[in-house]
């Protein structure tokens, strides 16, 4: 219950803050994800990640609402059983952009949200958090390209976590 209240509060803050912003943006990310778990004998491979976000810039800070889709293959080496896992995340992210007075803008961010994991056998929903580091390059005034690293972790019993590398595009209105 507390998680739902916290997520709803953060979402309300992000959406109400964007009304006062002068710069809205959409962001698309594509990349790869390396998943770790404390489940013995289970290996993950072939991970891919897609992100879509809408956000707002307020001075050096960005606040965004992000949807993430992750797909991976897993294999239990003890039972020789294979499967595919899919994760849908809804996150509120906050970023600090380091202004270097150049076309390159490094940034750091934190995110909180919810992850629904579907292993093919059952669905589970977890609280998830992430830390992000990246750099954007301004191709034009409205369009950025970037590279981003993310560490994502859950509160699951299986201690699911991931390291992600993403290529991102950002279009500013």
> pLDDT (tens digit, 9 = 90+) per residue, 66-98?
999 988 766 666 676 666 778 899 999 999 999
Locate 107 and state its tokens. 């940034």
**Which pLDDT belongs to residue 150?**
96
- Flag whether pLDDT at 40 surpasses 70: no
Residue 61 is predicted with a pLDDT of: 95
Higher pLDDT, 55 or 119: 55
Q: What is the pLDDT of residue 170?
A: 97
Which are the contacts of 119, defined by CB distance < 8 A and separation ≥ 6?
Answer: 74, 83, 85
Query: What pLDDT is recorded for position 151?
Result: 95
Q: Residue 7: its pLDDT value, please?
A: 59
- C-alpha 131/C-alpha 153 separation (Å) is 9
pLDDT category, 27, cuts 50, 70, 90?
very high
Q: If we measure between CA atoms, which residue out of 66, 30, 74, 10 comes closest to residue 164?
A: 30
pLDDT value of position 86: 84
CA contacts within 13 A on the Cβ side of 148: 31
Residue 25 has pLDDT above 70, yes or no: yes
Phi (first) and psi of residue 37, to 5 degrees = -150, 155
Q: What is the mean pLDDT of residues 92-121?
A: 92
Residue with the bigger pLDDT between 134 and 70: it is 134
Q: Give the 3-state secondary structure of residue 1.
A: coil
Contact yes or no for 50/169 (Cβ under 8 A): no
Range 111-134 average pLDDT:
89
- 95, 107 Cβ separation under 8 angstroms: yes
CB within 8 Å of 8: residues ≥ 6 apart: none
Q: Which domains does the chain possess?
A: 2-172 (2.40.160.20)
């Amino acid at each position: 219950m507390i998680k739902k209240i916290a997520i709803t509060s953060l979402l309300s803050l992000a959406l109400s803050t964007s009304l006062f912003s002068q710069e809205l943006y959409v962001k698309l990310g594509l990349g790869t994800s390396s998943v770790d778990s404390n489940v013995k004998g289970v290996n993950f491979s072939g991970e891919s990640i897609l992100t879509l976000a809408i956000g707002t810039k307020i001075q050096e800070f960005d606040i965004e609402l992000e949807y993430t889709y992750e797909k991976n293959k897993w294999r239990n080496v003890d039972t020789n059983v294979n499967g595919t896992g899919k994760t849908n995340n809804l996150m509120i992210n906050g970023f600090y952009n380091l202004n270097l007075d150049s076309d390159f803008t490094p940034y750091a961010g934190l995110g909180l949200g919810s992850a629904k994991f579907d292993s093919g056998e059952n669905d589970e929903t977890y609280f998830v958090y992430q830390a992000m580091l990246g750099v954007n390059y301004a191709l034009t005034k409205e369009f950025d390209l970037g590279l981003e690293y993310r560490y994502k972790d859950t509160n699951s019993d299986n201690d699911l976590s991931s390291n992600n590398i993403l290529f991102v595009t950002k279009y500013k209105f």
